[in-house]
């Protein structure tokens, strides 16, 4: 059993917390405590350097303006994040946080934000925003994932980058191949808000497992009921959006 508390870093919540992604930190901490593992949430306020000694680093979503400030802070703390990740920490990034892990984000007003290049990806704001329920099919052993998206950015992954999964409904990266997010050792990025981890206990446990190793199962009845209900909603809206686009395409 682990000696010290698992330290879950919530990076710039006042900038990258527009869509309630703080809930992801609460879920990771609670799923540790239910297993008898002490956990603490360490908030990293905007303007402060990101500390290197945390076990998890959570980056949430945010609109373009606060994203500018978050980009500057992350660039200044890039070395600490790289050092922590190389030392075994896990990074979980949602939407704006995901975009800033890449090389660049061209915002809706044409401003180019330089990211930290931890993921070989580039994002450019599209003509429309992608808003609505999303269903993503990751590689096994992760099950279908449900979430909510609200972003203008379209992300293109570099040739060697593995997506988190394929989009079954909704937009995700908004790229041609119909993917969402990115996935690497001890790193998961996605466009799924919700927050995504209360909806997807298996993804939460995947992230914890990357740091803690094999975990005893938890009774996730209520979380799975929420997941099933949102997957059904995502499939309904996904089908409706597909049908609408097909009718529009036909004129």
Can you give the binding site for ligand GLN, defined by CB under 6 A? 19, 61-64, 67, 95-96, 150-153
**Pick from 194, 145, 221: which is nearest to 26 by CA?**
194
Which of these is catalytic: 95, 103, 151, 206? Answer: 95
Least Å distance between CB 47 and ligand GLN? 20
- H/E segment holding residue 192: none
Active site residue 103: no
Which residue has its beta carbon closest to ligand GLN? 61
Least Å distance between CB 124 and ligand GLN? 9
Active site residue 56: no
Least Å distance between CB 180 and ligand GLN? 13
Residue nearer to ligand GLN on the CB measure, 19 or 92: 19
User: What pairing do the DSSP bridges indicate for beta strands 90-94 and 187-190?
Assistant: parallel
Distance CA 151, CA 176 (A): 16
Q: Give the N- to C-terminal CA distance of the chain in Å, as an integer.
A: 62
Distance CA 78, CA 73 (A): 9
Which of these is catalytic: 32, 56, 85, 193? Answer: 193
Distance CA 132, CA 69 (A): 26
The residues carrying an active-site annotation are 95, 193
């Amino acid at each position: 059993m682990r000696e010290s508390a698992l330290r879950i870093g919530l990076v710039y919540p006042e900038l990258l917390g527009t869509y309630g992604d703080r809930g992801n930190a609460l879920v990771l901490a609670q799923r540790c405590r239910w297993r008898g593992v002490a956990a603490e949430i360490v908030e990293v306020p905007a303007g402060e350097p990101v500390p290197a000694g945390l076990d998890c680093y959570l980056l949430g979503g945010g609109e373009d303006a606060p994203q500018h400030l978050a980009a500057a802070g992350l660039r200044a703390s890039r070395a600490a994040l790289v050092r922590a990740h190389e030392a075994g920490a896990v990074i979980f990034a949602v939407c704006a946080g995901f975009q800033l892990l890449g090389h660049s984000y061209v915002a809706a007003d044409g401003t180019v934000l330089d990211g930290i290049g931890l993921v070989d990806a580039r994002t450019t704001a599209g003509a429309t925003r992608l808003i609505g329920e999303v269903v993503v099919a990751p590689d096994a052993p992760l099950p279908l994932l449900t979430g909510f998206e609200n972003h203008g950015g379209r992300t293109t992954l570099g040739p060697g980058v593995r997506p988190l999964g394929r989009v079954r409904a909704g937009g995700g990266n908004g790229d041609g191949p119909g993917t969402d997010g990115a996935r690497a050792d001890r790193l998961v990025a996605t466009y799924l808000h919700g927050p995504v981890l209360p909806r997807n206990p298996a993804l939460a446990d995947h992230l914890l497992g990357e740091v803690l190793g094999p975990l005893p199962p938890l009774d996730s009845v209520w979380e799975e009921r929420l997941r099933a209900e949102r997957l059904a909603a995502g499939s309904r809206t996904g089908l409706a959006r597909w049908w609408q686009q097909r009718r529009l395409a036909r004129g």
